[in-house]
Copies of this chain bind each other. A is one copy, B any other.
Amino acid sequence: MILTVTLNVSVDKAYKIKGAVCPGTVSRVDECRNTAGGKGLNVARIADLCGEDVLAAGFAGGFNGDYVKAMLCEDGIQSRFTKVKGESRSCINILAGDGTSTEFLEPGAPVEEEEWHRFLKDFEELVRESHVVTISGSAPRGLGTDCYQELIEIVKRQGKQVILDTSGEYLREGLKAKPTMIKPNQEELEDLLGVEIKNREDLILAGKKLVSQGIPYVVISLGAKGALMICEDRIYHGKPPELDAVNPVGCGDSMVGAFAAAFCQGKSDKEALAYAVAVSAANAMNPGTGRFRVKDMEEIHSKAEVEEITY
């Protein structure tokens, strides 16, 4: 089973408006689509579509928290969230008639210390039933930036694999516990290592540096160019064929979900990369976030190439 951790779930609201976003005015929304949001829930939907048993964990509170659980349930995803007093947040994405996307992200209610301890206890138990754990996104206020470090240590004590996909201080602190895999993009890598990255060689150097610090798999997502996978003894570049992307949102999460599934299925590193690149590309072809059509994925998979890089 794959356990996905999403500490800051939200009801994601996609608003369609005819005109442009005009500060200082009132806009009537033509269409509103609500989704269970938070990067870890994209991972959960993708891992489920990859055929794995999935359990979504994190914090959920109030009416919005119940709404998130109900929407996950409709998608066939089981969840066992730790109940908190605060109301779970909403995040708004306004898709305007002029093609712009304008987002407003609520901070979410702060988590209290007692609630964090209750989560840790729940988490210990859930890890026991899992093969792979994924940890994604930011954390609500009230938690230290070392919260993921604590979670990763729990997973590793139980000898399970854990993928960390976050940024900034959460990533910096989380790395101290040496997760099985991280999946930074170029910007996150530059921020983490304080270097400027100009080409693939720089990316590989950065990845190798992190591997030498004890991270077995550093996967660097490259958007339409696929992903680089740097491990202790091998380096691969997985490349999808050219395709028409309609929604690149959630491609990184899709990669994480696919890798988690590949770990469960015992795929080789090279196979796992080709699969993850195909799943991520198939997500970009789907208007939904954290969703793909199996047919798209299989077609892309058959055309995806994995180049081994000698370095």
Residue in B closest to A94 when the chains form the complex, CB atoms: B104
* Given A20-B23, A21-B21, A34-B87, A92 contacting B104 (CB threshold 8 A): yes
Q: How many residues of A contact B (CB 8 A)?
A: 38
Report the separation of the CA atoms of residues A290 and B21 in the bound assembly, to the nearest whole angstrom: 28
Asked if B106 and A29 make an inter-chain contact with CB atoms under 8 angstroms apart, the answer reads yes
Contact call A25/B102, Cβ cutoff below 8 A: yes
**Interchain CB contact under 8 A, B63 and A28:** no
**Which residues of B lie under 8 Å from residue A104 when comparing CB positions?**
15, 17, 27, 29, 92, 94
* A 211-234 contacts with B by CB, 8 A: none
| C-alpha spacing A78/B67, complex, angstroms | 23
Q: Does A193 contact B (CB under 8 A)?
A: no
Q: Distance in Å from the Cβ of A137 to the closest Cβ of chain B?
A: 13
The answer to whether A39 has its CB under 8 Å from any CB of chain B is no
Tell me how far the C-beta of A140 lies from the nearest C-beta in chain B, rounded to whole angstroms. Answer: 13
Cα A92 to Cα B102 in complex, Å, equals: 13
Query: In the bound complex, do residue A105 and residue B27 qualify as a contact, i.e. CB atoms below 8 Å apart?
Result: yes
Q: Is A309 an interface residue (CB 8 A)?
A: no
- Asked if A100 contacts B24 (CB within 8 A), the reply is yes
Assuming the contacts A62-B67, A89-B32, A90-B90, asked whether A23 and B100 have C-beta atoms less than 8 A apart, the reply is yes
Chain B: CB-nearest residue to A68:
B63
Within 8 Å CB of A64, what residues of B? 63, 67
Does A23 contact B96, Cβ atoms closer than 8 Å? yes
Is A107 an interface position by the 8 A CB rule?
yes
Contacts of A101 in B (CB 8 A): 24
CB distance from A270 to the nearest CB of B (A): 35
Question: What is the CA–CA distance of A34 and B89 in the complex, to the nearest angstrom?
Answer: 10
Q: How far, in angstroms, from A22 to B90 measured CA to CA in the complex?
A: 19
1/0 contact string of A12-47 vs chain B (CB within 8 Å)? 010101001111111111111010000000000000
Most chain B CB within 10 A, of A24, A26, A64, A101, is at A24
Question: A13-B106, A63-B66, A94-B104 are known contacts; what are 14 more A-B pairs with Cβ within 8 Å?
Answer: A17-B104, A23-B96, A25-B102, A25-B103, A27-B102, A27-B104, A29-B104, A31-B107, A34-B87, A63-B63, A63-B67, A63-B70, A64-B67, A90-B90
